[in-house]
């Protein structure tokens, strides 16, 4: 058992009683408060959970939404091209731009010309592979590896005939390019699927190999391979006799094309970004909901200050309303007698007779009348209570007019 706390002396040497121990904290009160807060905010919690679940269900992987991605089954993806090559027993090798290696056939789906020195090094490596005898196929008309653009291929459903004598394309009669551009055919180049404005496919000799520029990548997509002519063209270009399966350069997102490390925000999936935006909107709605006002602001009037006599009357009336008239009048009479005794240099515990005699001398009143005021009878109703408190207040005012005011003592305890 622990010993009870002892009193300690203060600056004046008196013993100060120890502070009472704090009551233990009731965990049930805290739990009830938390439950009430949660119960009042359940609509907001339900909305937040619904937003999180919806964002998680609608989140998609970036690789599948990237155009021309070899893993995408969307119409603009190239997963069907990979499947066709695998069925022909010429499986494709999908690599990043910096891992082309010594491939004999290279397909560049997307060549970004704004990725700085890394892009220049990548294109120099492709030209070197072409000079060594490789076939480099560029499906990005904006690539620096492609010839100059002189026009467009026209309508999406337009058909272009081969119009060239290239042994590798002898089985292709016509294609549906699905749009795209037309290139200028320079001296030494071979243009196929040409019109009066230019050629959709241009073969440029480079050392012992070739660079083949396509006017657009649509013939390589899942939707473009539905055309028989497009499928034959693609297989003829990517599976030359005696070569292994082609190497396909995977397209990279724009945030990673610069060759540097991606930022932290770039690594966040799009679905998580949408979820964060939805949570921010929900928080703004919650703030507006909690900050709303119903009607005009209310003005809180300050309490009315009462004079000492009016305070006595008001306290008496308050006790009277609480059905304690007798206790009220006795307490007011005792407090008034104690204050008057102190003004008359009498002990606070002086009885009514001594205080009445001293007051009678100072105010020139009858001692019996003063004693009757200091010890009033039990009031029978509210009017008797108010009369007794009024007489006590009037007696105290009479003493204040004949005696100089004495400041009230300060209770140090």
Using DSSP, state whether 290 is helix, strand or coil.
Answer: helix
DSSP 8-class letter at 328: H
Q: What does the pLDDT read at residue 412?
A: 36
Q: What would the pLDDT profile of 219-271 be if each residue is shown by its tens digit?
A: 999 999 999 999 999 999 998 876 678 999 988 765 544 445 556 666 667 77
Q: What does the pLDDT read at residue 45?
A: 73
Q: What does the pLDDT read at residue 406?
A: 41
Q: What does the pLDDT read at residue 379?
A: 81
Q: What would the pLDDT profile of 170-188 be if each residue is shown by its tens digit?
A: 889 999 988 889 999 999 9
Q: What does the pLDDT read at residue 305?
A: 62
Characterize the bridge pairing of strands 174-175 and 160-161: antiparallel
DSSP 8-class letter at 17: P
CATH 1.10.150 fits 64-256, yes or no: no
Segment 324-343 mean pLDDT: 82
Segment 296-309 mean pLDDT: 63
DSSP 8-class letter at 166: -
Number of helices (H), then strands (E), belonging to the chain: the values are 12, 13
8 Å CB contact between 107 and 234: no
**CA dist., res. 348 & res. 343, Å (int):** 10
Listed residue (387, 403, 410) closest to 341, CA to CA = 403
In the predicted structure, residue 280 carries a pLDDT above the cut 80 = yes
Exposed, middle or buried, 108 (CB in 10 Å: 0-12/13-18/19+)?
buried
Model-wide pTM > 0.85: no
Confidence grade of residue 288 (pLDDT, cut at 50, 70, 90):
confident
Distance from chain centroid for Cα 327: 61
Q: What does the pLDDT read at residue 327?
A: 80
Q: What does the pLDDT read at residue 404?
A: 45
**CA dist., res. 365 & res. 401, Å (int):** 14
In the predicted structure, residue 387 carries a pLDDT above the cut 90 = no
Q: Which residue has the higher pLDDT, 58 or 214?
A: 214
Q: Where are the domains of the chain?
A: 64-256, 308-402
Segment 57-78 mean pLDDT: 74
DSSP 8-class letter at 282: H
């Amino acid at each position: 058992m622990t010993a009870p706390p002892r009193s300690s002396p203060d600056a004046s040497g008196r013993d100060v009683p120890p502070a009472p121990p704090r009551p233990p904290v009731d965990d049930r009160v805290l739990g009830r408060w938390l439950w009430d807060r949660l119960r009042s905010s359940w609509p907001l919690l339900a909305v937040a959970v619904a937003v999180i679940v919806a964002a998680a269900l609608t989140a998609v992987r970036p690789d599948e939404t990237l155009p021309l991605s070899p893993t995408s089954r969307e119409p603009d993806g190239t997963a069907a091209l990979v499947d066709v090559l695998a069925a022909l027993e010429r499986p494709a090798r999908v690599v990043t731009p910096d891992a082309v290696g010594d491939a004999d056939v290279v397909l560049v789906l997307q060549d970004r010309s704004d990725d700085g020195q890394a892009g220049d090094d990548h294109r120099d490596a492709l030209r070197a592979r072409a000079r060594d005898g490789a076939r480099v196929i560029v499906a990005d008309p904006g690539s620096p590896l492609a010839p100059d653009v002189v026009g467009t291929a026209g309508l999406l459903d337009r058909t272009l005939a081969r119009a060239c004598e290239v042994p590798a394309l002898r089985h292709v009669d016509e294609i549906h390019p699905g749009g795209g551009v037309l290139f200028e055919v320079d001296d030494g180049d071979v243009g196929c699927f040409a019109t009066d404005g230019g050629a959709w496919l241009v073969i440029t000799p480079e050392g012992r190999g070739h660079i083949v520029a396509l006017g657009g990548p649509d013939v390589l997509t899942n939707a473009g391979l539905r055309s028989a002519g497009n499928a034959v063209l693609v297989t003829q270009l990517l599976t030359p006799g005696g070569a292994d399966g082609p190497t396909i350069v995977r397209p990279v997102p724009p945030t990673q094309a610069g060759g540097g490390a991606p930022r932290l925000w770039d690594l966040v999936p799009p679905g998580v970004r949408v979820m964060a935006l939805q949570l921010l909107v929900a928080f703004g709605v919650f703030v507006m909901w909690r900050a709303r006002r119903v009607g005009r602001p209310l003005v809180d009037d300050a309490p009315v200050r009462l004079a000492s006599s009016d305070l006595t009357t008001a306290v008496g009336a308050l006790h009277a309303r609480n059905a304690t008239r007798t206790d009220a009048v006795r307490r007011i009479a005792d407090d008034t007698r104690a204050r008057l005794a102190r003004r008359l240099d009498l002990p606070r515990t002086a009885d009514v007779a001594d205080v009445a005699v001293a007051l009678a001398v100072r105010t020139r009143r009858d001692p019996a009348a003063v004693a009757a005021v200091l010890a009033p009878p039990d009031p029978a109703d509210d009017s008797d209570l108010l009369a007794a408190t009024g007489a006590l207040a009037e007696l105290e005012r009479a003493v204040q007019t004949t005696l100089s005011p004495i400041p009230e003592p300060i209770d140090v305890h």
